[in-house]
Copies of this chain bind each other. A is one copy, B any other.
Amino acid sequence: MMHYSKEQLLQLNSRFRANLINSCTGYKSSNLLATKSPNGTSNLAIFNSVVHIGSNPPMLGFILRPLTVKRNTYENFKSSGYFTVNQIPSNIIKKAHETSAKYEEDISEFAKSHLTEEFMEGFQAPFVKESHIKMACRYLSEYEIKENGCLLIIGEILDIYLPKDIVNEDGWVHLDKVDTTAIIGLDGYALPKILDRFSYARPDQESHSIYHGT
């Protein structure tokens, strides 16, 4: 067993520390966020920090790094009010990763990454055609994390698009059936396979598998 103390962590080379700390919190969600700028340019960027915030009303959140440089995704959803969240399947991980390159705001990462832009029922922001699970979202609010200047962005989920046959009868979604990936750190992509689902845990009762039905 290896031990990094606080003092050792702070003395590490910054890239080593970034890789280590980004890995240690566990697997991250793997999504592409898409927006449209006021002048009509589409923007596409990979985010590994999308999290569940609430179901009623449906909300998600993600962490945005400090606004010390221009962030096109942020500028776009602040001006339009809208963005989309598109899960990354295993067959587009390389293209999705390439959206993290810092392009100027008048360049569309859809074109640069060779991912396909798709519009749904008049929603302002584009979706990613290659994604199997996608959501239309409305910007709600932001909270500044004072410790380092990052922002927690909260969005309302307005629409969900996904294949019917991956939604279980109780609403749970078989992400593995559409090869949704998970991320380690800043640049590692993994493909999860389901092990099991367990019943709601109650004191002094053993949980049982509900993967094949309750």
Contact = CB atoms under 8 A, between A and B. Distances in A.
Interface residues of A, number: 115
B4 A159 contact: yes
Given A9-B160, A54-B150, A170 B16 contact: yes
Contacts of A51: 25, 28, 49, 51, 63
Contacts of A53: 63, 145, 147-148, 150
Contacts of A101: 201-205
Nearest to A49: B51
Interface in A29-76: 29-31, 48-61, 63
A212 to B, nearest CB: 13
Contact of A176 (B17, B60, B190, B198): B190
A133 interface: yes
Interface string A179-213: 01110110111111111111111111111001100
Given A161-B2, A163-B1, A201-B101, A28 B29 contact: yes
A97 interface: yes
Contact of A90 (B93, B185, B195, B207): B195
A163 B17 contact: no
A200 to B, nearest CB: 7
A85 interface: yes
B198 A94 contact: yes
Contacts of A190: 175-176, 192-195
A157 B21 contact: yes
Given A18-B56, A18-B171, A22-B55, 12 more contacts: A2-B162, A2-B163, A6-B156, A6-B157, A16-B170, A21-B52, A21-B58, A27-B29, A27-B192, A61-B145, A143-B145, A143-B152
Interface of A: 1-6, 9-10, 12-31, 48-61, 63, 85, 87, 90, 93-94, 97-103, 107, 112, 133, 135, 140-141, 143, 145-148, 150, 152, 154, 156-164, 167-168, 170-176, 180-182, 184-185, 187-207, 210-211
